[in-house]
Amino acid sequence: QVQLVESGGGLVQAGGSLRLACKASGSVFRLGYMRWFRQTPGKQRELVAAAYSHTNTDYADSVKGRFTISRDNVKNTVYLQMSSLKPEDTAVYYCNAHIATAEYTSADYWGQGTQVTVSS
């Protein structure tokens, strides 16, 4: 079994910073992409940032220049460094990763989500 364990969410004032972490544990044979999504009630879950193979990364236009995604393949962990936070960044943030548990067996996994609240 594979689990994604998230940490780092909380309450912060506008303009502040937070660092989210998501660690994959269990029967991890090989890591694929690792991504962060966010969702608020009544809105579609949106992709915030992604770290693909060969260190390629991508960001939503709304967070470019403010958020940075990084990954540590030794620790099986992906991070999201968030700076210059705005009230509209308030959401539940979800970690998502594609993980192989055997040489020819892989699947998509999700974390439980962590609340980020930015006050004005």
- Give tens-digit pLDDT for 76-89: 999 999 999 999 99
- Which CA distances in Å does 83 have to 22, 41, 71, 109, 118? 18, 23, 18, 26, 11
List, in sequence order, every residue forming a beta bridge with 13; answer none if it has no partner.
119
Residue 16 is given by DSSP the state -
The answer to whether 39 and 108 have CB atoms below 8 angstroms apart is no
Distance CA 26, CA 8 (A): 21
pLDDT digits over 17-59, tens only?
999 999 999 999 988 999 999 999 889 999 999 998 657 999 9
- Residue 54 is predicted with a pLDDT of 59
CA–CA dist 52, 46 (Å, integer) = 17
Residues 49-86: tens digit of each pLDDT? 999 865 799 999 999 999 999 998 889 999 999 999 99
* Burial (Cβ within 10 Å: 0-12, 13-18, ≥19) of residue 5: middle
- Nearest residue to 117 (alpha-carbon basis) of 8, 7, 12: 12
Given this model, what pLDDT does residue 42 score? 85
